[in-house]
Amino acid sequence: MARKSRSRGGAASARTAARRAQVHPASAGPAQTGTAQLTAPVSVGADLAAAKDTEEESYPGQQFGLPEAGPGSVASISRRVLALFIDWLLSMVIAYWLTHSQFWTIVVFAVEVFLLTALGGITAGKRVMGIRVIRIDGGPVWFGRSAVRTLLLLTVVLPLLTDYDRRGIHDRAAGTIVVRI
């Protein structure tokens, strides 16, 4: 009776069989009747190891020419979230001070983020956390990119969808990235 593989994907079992054949050529054995056996050249293992080494050597922001650590490197998600909370709390205080209601917090937050990001790439929360917004091409953020970034930031979900460089959809749409100061 043939024994079923526990893995769901055929590719995983093929890789396992190929590895087993490379390590123990005698254990590879002939293909069973009625099943297909995938074989791979011996160099596939070397290619996979080289691809893993290349992935391990890359870091967030490398494709933009940013350093791996220190000033100018891509800001961590935790710094960005803390800066967002600081900006939100500040907006709540300002909204309550101006209107004696917290219903205007989102408006105050949007205006703060839009203006401060456009003019200097940095909000109060970002300043406290030591991060700032810059354009990928090195120019100033200005009002157009800041408006796109702020509108998408207000959707809440889109900034949570980040890529390898820790750029949310709002940063990708605006052509910006958040870096350490």
Which pLDDT does position 139 carry in this prediction?
84
Q: Residues 34, 38, 39, CA angle at the centre, nearest 5°?
A: 135
Q: Return the percentage of the chain with pLDDT > 90, whole number.
A: 63
CA distance 113 to 109: 6
- What is each CA distance from 10 to 36, 49, 62, in whole angstroms? 10, 21, 34
Confidence at residue 33, expressed as pLDDT on a 0 to 100 scale:
52
The Cα-based distances of 139 to 80, 109, 129, 171 in angstroms read: 21, 24, 22, 15
Q: Are 22 and 45 in contact (CB under 8 A)?
A: yes
Structure tokens at 142: 């200005």
Could you tell me how far CA 158 lies from the centroid of its own chain?
12
Asked which of 38-52, 66-80, 132-146 is least confident by mean pLDDT, the reply is 38-52
Mean residue pLDDT of the chain comes to: 81
Checking if the pLDDT of 90 tops 60, the result is: yes
Would you state the pLDDT for residue 19? 46
pLDDT at site 47: 52
Give CA–CA dist 154/32, Å, rounded: 58
**Max Cα separation, the chain?**
80
What pTM was estimated for this model as a whole? 0.68
User: Rg of the chain over CA atoms, in angstroms?
Assistant: 25
